[in-house]
Amino acid sequence: MIAYLRGRLLRREEESVVVEAGGVGYEVHLPAIVARSLHPAPTPDGGETVELYVSYHATQNQPRPLLVGFNREAEQEFFERFITVDGLGPTKALKAMVHPVHVIADAIERKDTGFLRRLPGIGARTAEKIVAALHGKMAKYALLVEAPDEAPRAPAEDFKDEVLEILTKQLGHRPAEARRMMDEALRRNPAIASGEELFQEVYRVSSSEMSRRSG
């Protein structure tokens, strides 16, 4: 299985790229939001390189492998959860991702089926299935930021270290901002005893703040 590719960009089209890695050219399909934000790095010889986290799919009914690429590991992880919804396979999910992951995840957490059914290929019934299957599991992805800062990998000594690592390394928050969000969540609810509970509390307040600003 292919989970990550880094190599020379051989060809770029509207919805896919061909990446040479180890002498092999891999065709990787890109969701619209990834295609728009893909920025290859220049090489000394005038070429370009890219690195992509890959969701790999090959089934008996679809023997030709389908590779779906993402800029960040958290986006890939979201996609793999997204396609667990009944009737939402990789091809349909690929076309549906026309908004950033955090926008779609936030809509799921808010049970906004109106937003979801406007995604390409997602009707009212599928939107309801998405909310039924994934509501309460999307707080982590709803906190993704547009341009992540690199942060050192923290040892996961307890659930707070694990949450800090994900907020910074995967979701793109600055370390100081992530610690502030966690500290405030723990002050509001000292009974928090797991990473999932901490995520939910951080997301709950962040979501309400975003709603106030937009209102």
3 state SS of 157: coil
Among 100, 123, 141, give the residue marking a domain's end: 141
User: Per residue of the chain (215 residues), what is the pLDDT tens digit?
Assistant: 899 999 999 999 989 999 999 999 999 999 999 998 898 999 899 999 999 999 999 876 667 889 999 999 999 999 999 999 998 999 999 999 999 899 999 999 999 999 999 999 999 999 999 999 999 999 889 888 764 433 333 333 467 888 888 888 878 888 999 889 888 888 888 778 778 778 878 877 676 565 555 55
Tell me the CA end-to-end span of the chain in Å, nearest whole number.
45
Q: Is residue 59 domain-shared with residue 100, that is, in the same domain?
A: no
Q: Is residue 23 domain-shared with residue 52, that is, in the same domain?
A: yes
Q: What is the structure's pLDDT at 189? A: 84
Among 83, 106, 141, give the residue marking a domain's end: 141
Q: Is residue 97 domain-shared with residue 122, that is, in the same domain?
A: yes
CATH number, domain containing residue 98: 1.10.150.20
Q: Is residue 127 domain-shared with residue 185, that is, in the same domain?
A: no
The amino acid at 28? V
What is the domain count for the chain?
Answer: 3
Could you tell me where the beta strands, DSSP code E, fall in 58-181?
A: 66-70
Token digits of residue 202: 């951080």
As beta bridge partners, residue 9 has 19
Q: Is residue 41 domain-shared with residue 55, that is, in the same domain?
A: yes
Q: How far is CA 188 from CA 155, 185, 197, 199, in A?
A: 25, 5, 12, 13
CB–CB of 205/197 below 8 Å? Answer: no
Among 125, 141, 157, give the residue marking a domain's end: 141
Q: What is the structure's pLDDT at 115? A: 92
Give the Cα separation of 145 and 167 in Å (integer).
Answer: 10
Q: Is residue 94 domain-shared with residue 151, that is, in the same domain?
A: no
Q: What is the structure's pLDDT at 207? A: 66
Q: Is residue 66 domain-shared with residue 77, that is, in the same domain?
A: no
Q: Is residue 66 domain-shared with residue 111, that is, in the same domain?
A: no
Q: Structural domain of residue 171, as residue ranges?
A: 147-214
Q: What is the structure's pLDDT at 158? A: 65
Looking at residue 150, the DSSP 8-state letter turns out to be: P
CB–CB of 201/185 below 8 Å? Answer: yes
